[in-house]
Structure 1
């Protein structure tokens, strides 16, 4: 299991570095960086085989990225972090750390507002407490995400961004309970993008 995760991590990081380090990018490609913060609405952790459902409260989510804008298409490497509390369990928490290679398509409009759609692939490290100081989940998995939003250009270099993302880690396993786990997250983020 660790070997498989290690190979997935290597491939994802190589892809992320490729997106972030396109030194031979065409002249029309402009590098950019972005940051955003918002609401991380984590779904319930579910163990279908056992019929267990563990409620999770909404929490915060942050995201940072570097990439290239190809005048309508964007490619970036992004790191995100999210933290939530289990429902009715003040001392039990869950966290999600993602490293993603994302692609965007910005729809062309005649005004400063540009809708977009996006998709990403990468890895997610998930930690979830079973009791204070004891991890119920603590591993790295393959993950993907889909999203959409709008960007508003406030100057030649600065764009304000508001968007939604659906994040889905795959292949979760709970070693304590010897069963598979399903989980997902819905994020609403607002941020800023600066083009160099």
Structure 2
């Protein structure tokens, strides 16, 4: 059994070493609009306004697959409740992308990620960190040898989010982003 495990690990190392050595690092930045789903505090709905979303990432392009560490920020004002402040989200996530080479000057992609989201309200009713999931799709358009324009959609959802009173908080957002990737 130990021998089989060692052989499997050796094979994985043998196969992945060339892929990592061919990896092209990149950084990316994007900005867009976040359309919040209804926020529910213990089942009670509260409407949120749309807001700007900001994203930055560092990653590795392995040809058709990309892996990145990203950070996103968005802060939604409550509709009709300025005294509550904003519901803000800071997300750090590990994302994987699958690029589809069309050979026609653009590359559609799908993505999925997981991470943690720090959630805060202006009145500290929610001040917690939760596991989060995201998924999306988009298209990359090469502008130069190492610069790619990116237009994409992401769905973000923190899981098992709680208020300071241990009430469940249910929220998600739909984000439309435009940005640039700079390869090295």
Tell me the TM-score normalised to structure 1 length.
0.81
Match of 2:49 among 47, 53, 57: 57
Report deviation, 1:106: 0.3
Report deviation, 1:24: 8.8
Corresponding position of 1:69? 61
> Hey, what's the Cα distance between the residues in 2 that align with 1:42 and 1:117?
21
Corresponding position of 2:141? 152
Match of 1:137 among 116, 123, 126: 126
Report deviation, 1:89: 2.1
Corresponding position of 1:27? 21
Corresponding position of 1:184? 172
How much is the aligned-residue C-alpha RMSD, in angstroms? 1.6
Corresponding position of 1:88? 80
How many residue pairs get aligned? The number is 167
Tell me the TM-score normalised to structure 2 length.
0.86
Report deviation, 1:27: 3.1
Structure 1 portions without partners, runs of 5+? 1-22
> Hey, what's the Cα distance between the residues in 2 that align with 1:187 and 1:169?
14
- Rg larger in structure: 2
